[in-house]
Each structure stands twice: as C-alpha cells, then as structure tokens.
Chains A and B, each alone.
Chain A
Amino acid sequence: DGGITQSPKYLFRKEGQNVTLSCEQNLNHDAMYWYRQDPGQGLRLIYYSQIVNDFQKGDIAEGYSVSREKKESFPLTVTSAQKNPTAFYLCASRGRKPNNEQFFGPGTRLTVL
C-alpha cells in the first residue's frame, strides 16, 4: 500500500520537553512538508524539503527543527522553544510532474500538558 504515515496519532508532552513526530512515505516523492493546523487559522507551513539533505524554513519555523537523511523520512522535532506547540501537525508529500499535487498523511495531534 502506497501512502504517507505519521506517528504517533496522539502525543502528550510536558512543558520543557522536546518531542519528535515521525513522517514516512513510500510514494517515491521528492518533496515533503510539515504544516501546523490550529482552529480557525488554516494550515501554516513549518518546514519543507525538496531533496535529501536539504530543507527550507516555512512561515512559522521558530521552535521547530527537521532533518531529511532519507528520501522516505522527514521527522519534525518540536523543541521547548516553541511557545504554543499544542496543535494538529500534518505531513505532506508532493507528487511528480505534470500536476505536482500535494497529499497529506493522517496527522499527529500534539497536546502540551
């Protein structure tokens, strides 16, 4: 089955802790993305990566970090510097030409206690 997987589905974190969200895809897509969704604010881009070992900041990168060591994997670390980390985190990957459509994983809901 081809697709994008994210784990865990739900994550609880104490203030001051770093946590890492997993995103894996077996679609052979080059580009991968991380978004954050808050109620009433739509999707905001955190980081994206077009190729292995390269990534760019999105609109709200502060307090987050990523790595892209393998084409299939794009993990996101939410650091203690992120002031309001409670949100729904969505990973996506982009297909090939001609349409370059973007598809989402199932998401991880992070709650800071």
Chain B
Amino acid sequence: QKEVEQNSGPLSVPEGAIASLNCTYSDRGSQSFFWYRQYSGKSPELIMSIYSNGDKEDGRFTAQLNKASQYVSLLIRDSQPSDSATYLCAVRRDFGNEKLTFGTGTRLTIIP
C-alpha cells in the first residue's frame, strides 16, 4: 500500500463546474496536509494547507480533512482552464517534522 494515494486521472471537468480531487494516506500519525499545483514542466506551487479536521476555504479552493477516515480532498469551484494541472497531495507526520510524503498526483483537465 502506498503511503499517500491519489487517483492519477486524468480527471476531466467542464469549465465552471466543481473539480473534486481526493487523497488517502496510510500513516495515522500524519498531522499536516498540503495541496500543490504543478503545471507541465514547472515546479510545484503550494495552494492549500490544512491541519485540523473540517473544511478550509481560500478563494475558489476548499480543502477538506477527515483524520478518522485518513482522507483529504481539494475542491475547486468555478473551474477555469487555467486550473488544468497536476495536483499533488503531501502529508507530514508531526508538526515540525522535516519530511513530506507526496502522492503521485492527479492530472486535472478543465474542458472549455
């Protein structure tokens, strides 16, 4: 079992719809969770971080965390073609622990 699992996609969503990206993790000691966006040929860009159960909203992005189910998700509302990218989920065991563990990413395509 991979430590961090994501559906590799591709996930195709019509422009203006809600894109839902999912991530599960195996280490129950994970405390910090991050979503990175990576455009083709570019480096990852941090878009959301979440540390406690529930929802966290930032503009069109909402991160959702359920530690009991070991599940974190990213919702993108009013999807735009510029949202087309690969989205990487990353988890960290302890607050202040050095190492992030990454999933392999979900490729999202927004269809105009």
Bound form: Cα–Cα A105–B45 in Å: 9
Q: Which B residue's beta carbon lies closest to that of A41? A: B104
Task: Categorize the interface residue count of chain A.
Answer: 20 to 34
Chain A contact residues, majority secondary structure? strand
- Would you give 12 A-B contacts (Cβ < 8 Å), ordered by A? A42-B88, A42-B103, A43-B102, A45-B99, A48-B98, A58-B99, A100-B32, A100-B95, A100-B96, A101-B34, A102-B90, A103-B46
Is A90 close to B, CB under 8 A?
A: yes
Number of B residues, CB within 8 Å of A: 23
Contacting residues, chain A, for B34 (C-beta < 8 A): 101-102
Cross-chain contact A99 with B99 (CB below 8 angstroms): no
- In whole Å, how far is B3's beta carbon from the nearest beta carbon of chain A? 10
Chain B residues with CB under 8 Å of A107's CB are: 42-43
Question: Shortest beta-carbon distance, B36 to chain A, in Å?
Answer: 8
> Hey, which bits of chain B sit against chain A, CB under 8 A?
8, 32, 34, 36, 42-46, 49, 51, 88, 90, 92, 95-96, 98-100, 102-105
Q: Is the CB of B43 within 8 A of A94?
A: no
Q: Is the CB of B43 within 8 A of A106?
A: yes
Chain B residues closer than 8 Å to A106, beta-carbon distance:
42-43
**Does residue A67 face the partner (Cβ distance < 8 Å to B)?**
no
> Which chain A residues in 84-107 approach chain B with CB under 8 Å?
90, 94, 97, 99-107
Q: Does A31 contact B (CB under 8 A)?
A: yes
Alpha-carbon separation in the docked complex, A42 to B104 (Å)? 4
**Residues of A contacting B32 in the complex (Cβ-Cβ under 8 angstroms):** 99-100
Chain A residues near B104: list those with CB within 8 A. Answer: 40-42
Contact with B along A32-70 (1 / 0, CB 8 A): 000000001111010010100000101000000000000
Q: Is the CB of A94 within 8 A of B98?
A: yes
How would residues 1 to 37 of chain A score, 1 for a CB under 8 Å from any chain B CB and 0 otherwise?
A: 0000000000000000000000000000001000000
Q: Which residues of A contact B45 (CB under 8 A)?
A: 104
Contact A101 B46 (CB under 8 A): yes
Chain B nearest CB, measured from A107 CB (Å): 5
